[in-house]
Amino acid sequence: MPSVEKIIEDEISSPSVFKEKHKLYPEYTPSSLPHREKQLKQLAQLFKSFFSSPGEEMQRVMLVGSFGTGKTVTSKLFGASASSLASRNGIRLKYVHVNCYKSRTLPQIIYNISLDLGITLPQRGLSAQELMRGLIEELERRNTYAIVALDEFDYFALMSSGLNSIYVLVRAYDEYVNKKKRLHFIFISRSISTLENIDPSSSTYFLKNIVEFSPYTYSELYDILKERADEALYPGVISDDELKYISMIEGYDKGGSGSARTALEILVRAGESADSEKRSSITLDDIRKAHVIVKPELAMLQDQVSALDRHELVLYLSVIKALKGSGSGFVRIGDVEKIYRVLCEAYNLQPRRHTQVYTHILELRSMGFIQTKSSGKGFRGKSTLIGISAAPLYVLESKVEELLKRE
Ligand SMILES: Nc1ncnc2c1ncn2[C@@H]1O[C@H](COP(=O)(O)OP(=O)(O)OP(=O)(O)O)[C@@H](O)[C@H]1O
């Protein structure tokens, strides 16, 4: 065995498909946000009066959308741009982002807001109201405004202490009617329903200013992935078809979750898979492997293969072999049927007719073993296309063959 140092050195110095891997991480804030222009415009609209007459009213806005739909990154980019725009207009505005998973109580939240603004408040001995008063007075003294984003706000609201605390946040200026309103809030939440318990005297303030983030569609995810991949990977590492494949398995309109977070994570894992085998490009099987890592429920699906009957197994194997042979993400049902007939002979089965095969295909799809889509343009005649993202094909192939042999 080579020395430990040599092993580590070889690994570290081996080439990588990543040019700037960190640009694919969730913490990285990209400079542009495809398909979030509408939300940025809505935010700007809601803060418009701040720029025309700062301090006149307190802004309270709610960003709502499911996992990975860009709420955090949109809020951060908005905050950064609003601050520099304000500074060009001679207004001192700072953006602060607080995660309510990390700061779980109101005093912690106020303390961390102050810390980010460079304001030192006593860490102990003061109530939330007293801390809030200290923060407001210090902002006044410094002639500074702040937009505070409270991320994972639904988590905070769900906790019993959250309900009263929300009042303190949302109505912070109730006792300072004549003071300039220097604190503004962006609340970020996955759903509205978790906020239903909040007292209407607080919730009306932000529930009327909602910016919605819908799950990303196939083509939206493709645009996002393309931009991020161009920044983070070396040219030629991933093809357009492979980026479309990731967008297909995650796109909301194709039955996926519509999360850019998951799509980007699949891209990172697929790149790591290529790196681990010292290849200079990403393959479809790297993506399938990555998909299973990112979505562990797919690994369970692999186990459930053993519940399929013999006919379904042969049909599934035909799809696997057709995909392997084609090297693409999807194959036509007709090509699967050709292989299916040959395999039926090999496994001593009477092949089923086209309509029955089609029914089996739909069953396999509803069980999550395969994905289907219509061929659309670019193919002669309309046909059903079939793909598998549940696992790398070679893993599935040997599993299904083993099950067929056992039977
Ligand atoms: N339109 C977009 N363009 C480029 N990257 C995006 C876009 N939307 C989301 N992303 C990226 O997807 C990842 C997840 O985004 P973000 O954290 O903003 O989602 P979120 O809605 O706040 O999700 P969660 O509720 O899980 O926190 C980040 O890496 C972010 O940069």
Mutate to test the pocket of ligand 1, among 261, 265, 267 (most ligand atoms within 8 A of CB): 261
- Ligand 1 pocket residue status of 35, Cβ below 6 Å: yes
Look at residue 380 in the predicted model and tell me its pLDDT. 56
- How far, in Å, from the CA of 352 to the mean position of ligand 1? 46
**Residue 160 pLDDT exceeds 70:** no
Who's near 159: CB < 8 A, 6+ residues apart?
104
Residue nearest to atom 2 of ligand 1 (CA): 33
**Residue 77 pLDDT exceeds 70:** yes
The verdict on whether residue 216 carries a ligand-binding annotation is yes
The verdict on whether residue 179 carries a ligand-binding annotation is no
Q: Which tens digit of pLDDT belongs to each residue from 316-347?
A: 999 999 998 888 899 999 999 999 999 999 89
Who's near 12: CB < 8 A, 6+ residues apart?
none
Look at residue 163 in the predicted model and tell me its pLDDT. 65
CA separation, residue 260 to residues 6, 248, 266, 282 (Å): 38, 12, 10, 19
Q: Which tens digit of pLDDT belongs to each residue from 210-263?
A: 999 999 999 999 999 999 999 999 999 999 999 999 999 999 998 888 999 999
Look at residue 275 in the predicted model and tell me its pLDDT. 94
User: From CA 136, how far away is CA 145, in angstroms rounded?
Assistant: 10
Look at residue 300 in the predicted model and tell me its pLDDT. 74
Two tokens, residue 144? 């500074």
Q: Which tens digit of pLDDT belongs to each residue from 81-132?
A: 999 999 999 999 999 999 887 787 888 899 999 999 999 887 777 888 889 9
Domains and CATH numbers, the chain: 36-213 (3.40.50.300), 216-295 (1.10.8.60), 301-406 (1.10.10.10)
Look at residue 35 in the predicted model and tell me its pLDDT. 97
**Residue 70 pLDDT exceeds 90:** yes
The verdict on whether residue 72 carries a ligand-binding annotation is yes
Look at residue 8 in the predicted model and tell me its pLDDT. 78
